[in-house]
Amino acid sequence: MTRSEEQWRKIKDHPHYLVSNKGNVYSEYKGGLLKQMKDAYGYSQVNLNRRSKKVHRLVAEAFIPNPDKLPEVNHKDEDKNNNQVDNLEWCTSKYNMNYGDVEKRSILSQQSHSTWKIYQYDLNGNLVKVWNSAREADRHGFNRRSVYRCCDGEIKSFKGYIWSRQKKVIVCQTSN
């Protein structure tokens, strides 16, 4: 396979979708490429028949043999956005956890996750509550994934609230 040649294969259990060796996903229903979104951990994913699927896993399942039935897919260059087939490999959980600069990844993950305050607003833009994390909101009945989808702009509101990772300044206009 040449580096510039994009190859396509049907996605198992989703016959109207194709994945390429370059990490693109095509929908025969829409007649075009699907929009890729990031999950809470930074991995690219697409929706196939209303189910989220990680792009790197779709590429690996379509293009990389897995005779030992290894459970995970590793990004060799540690870039979660590089879903090209030559950057992926099947591996064990232990191998994946210990791959590359584990200490750096751990520190970055802790820093980014610990600073994700979630701001909950009513539909008029009034601040209702500040959550320490989406996980905390999840423990109080607000689905974490839906909160993240709202924060990422995929949906406008969830359960009658607007959610954000940033505190918004509401400008009130007064009449003279």
- Give the confidence band of 146 by pLDDT, cuts at 50, 70, 90: very high
Q: What is the structure's pLDDT at 42?
A: 84
Read off the pLDDT of each residue in 140-151 and give the average, rounded to a whole number.
91
Using CB atoms within 10 A of its CB, is residue 68 exposed (0-12), middle (13-18) or buried (19+)?
Answer: exposed
**159 and 117 both lie in a single domain:** yes
For residue 104, tell me if it sits in a domain.
no
Number of domains in the chain: 2
Model confidence over 18-51: pLDDT tens digits? 999 999 999 999 999 999 998 878 899 999 988 8
If phi > 0 it is left, if psi is from -120 to 50 it is alpha, else beta; for residue 150 that is alpha
**Domain boundary pick from 98, 129, 147:** 98
**67 and 92 both lie in a single domain:** yes
For residue 29, tell me if it sits in a domain.
yes
Please name the helix (run of DSSP H) or strand (run of DSSP E) that holds residue 46, with its range, or none. strand 44-48
Least Cα distance to 110 among 29, 32, 41 occurs for 41
Q: What is the structure's pLDDT at 45?
A: 94
Domain encompassing residue 127: 113-164
**13 and 90 both lie in a single domain:** yes
Whole-prediction pTM? 0.61
**19 and 69 both lie in a single domain:** yes
Q: What is the structure's pLDDT at 148?
A: 87
Q: What is the structure's pLDDT at 16?
A: 95
Read off the pLDDT of each residue in 78-91 and give the average, rounded to a whole number.
95
**93 and 50 both lie in a single domain:** yes
> Nearest-5° angle of CA 159, CA 45, CA 37?
60
Report the CATH number at residue 87: 3.90.75.20
